[in-house]
Structure 1
Amino acid sequence: MTIKSSILSLLMEKAPEFISGEEMAQQLEVSRTAIWKAINELKKEGHLINSTRKGYQYQSSDILSVEGIRLHLADKTPELAIKLLQSSSSTMKDAKLAALNGEAANTLVVADMQEAPKGRFGRPFFASEGGGIYMSILLRPNQSFEEMAQYTIIMAVAIVEAIEAAADIPLEIKWVNDIYKDGKKICGILSEAMSDVESGQITNIVIGMGINFSIRQEEFPEEIQEKATSLFSDCQPTLTRNELIAAIWNRFYAILSQDNTEFLDYYRKKSFVLGKDVTFTQAGTLFQGTAETINNQGELIVRLKDDTQKILSSGEISLSTIN
């Protein structure tokens, strides 16, 4: 950890109280001059730090930082190897590259801006510098492909539970990987697996997401203003992105550690697809029916007009209409 990073951690841990330069210098075993230089660098990066005779006081701001994320991670959450980028073409690509380079499990890539974001089927989505949360995580589960779909569902549940608990904003889930607020999309999730050919096991899973955090409604491109929104589209955020990022991963790992399927019950409760008439295309054929339930594998069960059932997996279809 650099001196600057150590100082930022001390300031955040002490906030809103003051901490003197002398106290920081003694704890870190560096000179007062080194403290002063690091404080100035942090201020130039946008961190709000009061400097008075009492010492230094950190003021909450929405500057993404590794230290800010770590500060809010729960003790039971595994240690994350956090990579923070000012900009990325795709955090999914960054996390997949980390997998190929043999980097540790639980490597988390977070970007302040994503230049070429894409969701399922390669569809682009709107990103805003400083207004969104763009991140991907590398997992090494060594599990079978049949269990793959559950990671997307667990991720969706973790995001919804974290946001509703931290920001008191009611949300819904569109099967399988989209989060909605007031009928408009605020988040998309993408999961990809890498496997070992010989064992047939999944060796790496990368889960990525883009969350519209604080983007004014008029800032969205005109063609998607009726379809997309952000958590705080018409008001000031009630928490920081660092706090929400930590809350999401705290919930995600808590669900992973549970030996039950309660998250599936929650997912079904939050789904606005179940009970609705849906149309979808599968293998080039258009089907119509009613979404009945989501099974324990995360697949959507649709009852067709002829009273037969279709079992839909996330990788093969995309719902075209929901009524």
Structure 2
Amino acid sequence: MFEPDALNPWLDDPRLRAAVTTAGTVTSTNVILKKSVQNGGPLPQILIADQQTAGVGRHGKHFASPADAGLYISYAFHPQINRALITPAAGVALQQAIADQFGISTQIKWVNDLQKAGKKVAGILAEALLEQNAVILGTGVDLFPAASGPLPNDQPMTTILREVPANDPRPELAGRYLTHLMRLFANPETIMPAYRKRAAWVGRRITVSGTQNPLTGTISGFDDNGALLLKTDLGTLVVSSGTIRLVETV
């Protein structure tokens, strides 16, 4: 596993440079930082792991995190912006970092995934610790195929790169991601305009699960708090959370 200072050429913020820790195999970077903050640990903290044995996604789902195959990073901090904008900002920052480093185009699937050619390549999970006024922002990126074979998942997946490169790309990606994220946090009015330009499935017919009742409609856009605007027969609904899937067309 690389050393924390490997991020320095791409990480502008000296406070974040000092906050980075790297590790080999861990249970979950989010869980570890959550426990640290709850026990009075300092903020900010950044933990990057080579492998997670119990990576966590939305709704408690397992996030497969095999060794030497992805970037698994969690960032604990005191939020200075509207918490609803943290996940959209992370999606934009990660999309920008991937484009800068690899020249590869991705899109953001509401609410917390990145897709390449319609298949998932990354997931984002923001967890609030209200008592500590903190957020744990976890990000997992599938960079290249795992030696153990295809990863189990409930949706089509792929990787950013087809093969493992000679030089480890993870320090650069982590540094670029965090730097883009800090710039967005410093200019929160730019988050949603950038998000809208990068969002997947706008104008497509979808279903939304995880709401009180399943919803079906067409994505017409996103409001200034990152909520999905769903055009239905009953009018446009504002959906703040849920899981979306495309409606299959015959």
**More displaced stretch, 74-83 vs 108-117:** 74-83
CA distance in 2, matches of 1:77, 1:181: 32
Please show how residues 239-278 of structure 1 align to structure 2 within 5 Å: 240-258=169-187, 260-278=188-206
What are structure 1's unaligned runs of at least 5 residues?
1-62, 197-201
Please show how residues 145-294 of structure 1 align to structure 2 within 5 Å: 147-196=82-131, 203-215=133-145, 219-221=149-151, 224=153, 227-234=156-163, 236=165, 240-258=169-187, 260-281=188-209, 283-294=211-222
CA distance in 1, matches of 2:102, 2:74: 22
Which residue number corresponds to residue 18 of structure 1?
none
CA distance in 2, matches of 1:176, 1:211: 16
When residues 77 and 301 of structure 1 are mapped into structure 2, their CA distance, relative to the original with a 3 A threshold, is: farther
Q: Which residue identity is paired with 2:97?
A: A
Which residue number corresponds to residue 69 of structure 2?
131
CA distance in 1, matches of 2:118, 2:166: 20
Q: Which residue identity is paired with 2:107?
A: E
Which residue number corresponds to residue 46 of structure 1?
none
Instruction: Report how far residue 304 of structure 1 moved.
Output: 1.0
Match status 1:104 vs 2:53: no
**More displaced stretch, 70-79 vs 295-304:** 70-79
Secondary structure at the residue paired with 1:251? helix
CA distance in 1, matches of 2:22, 2:245: 36
Instruction: Report how far residue 320 of structure 1 moved.
Output: 3.5
When residues 225 and 303 of structure 1 are mapped into structure 2, their CA distance, relative to the original with a 3 A threshold, is: closer
When residues 247 and 287 of structure 1 are mapped into structure 2, their CA distance, relative to the original with a 3 A threshold, is: same
Q: Which residue identity is paired with 2:208?
A: F
Query: Which structure is higher in RCO with an 8 Å CA cutoff and minimum separation 6?
Result: 2
CA distance in 2, matches of 1:102, 1:225: 36
When residues 256 and 237 of structure 1 are mapped into structure 2, their CA distance, relative to the original with a 3 A threshold, is: farther
CA distance in 2, matches of 1:267, 1:142: 19
Instruction: Report how far residue 72 of structure 1 moved.
Output: 3.0
Q: Which residue identity is paired with 1:205?
A: V
Instruction: Report how far residue 116 of structure 1 moved.
Output: 1.0
Secondary structure at the residue paired with 1:268? helix
CA distance in 2, matches of 1:256, 1:227: 31
Which residue number corresponds to residue 243 of structure 2?
318
Conserved 8 A contact 1:177-1:190: yes
CA RMSD of aligned residues (A): 2.4
Instruction: Report how far residue 217 of structure 1 moved.
Output: 9.5
Instruction: Provide the aligned length of Structure 1 versus Structure 2.
Output: 248
When residues 267 and 239 of structure 1 are mapped into structure 2, their CA distance, relative to the original with a 3 A threshold, is: farther
Larger-gyration structure (1/2): 1
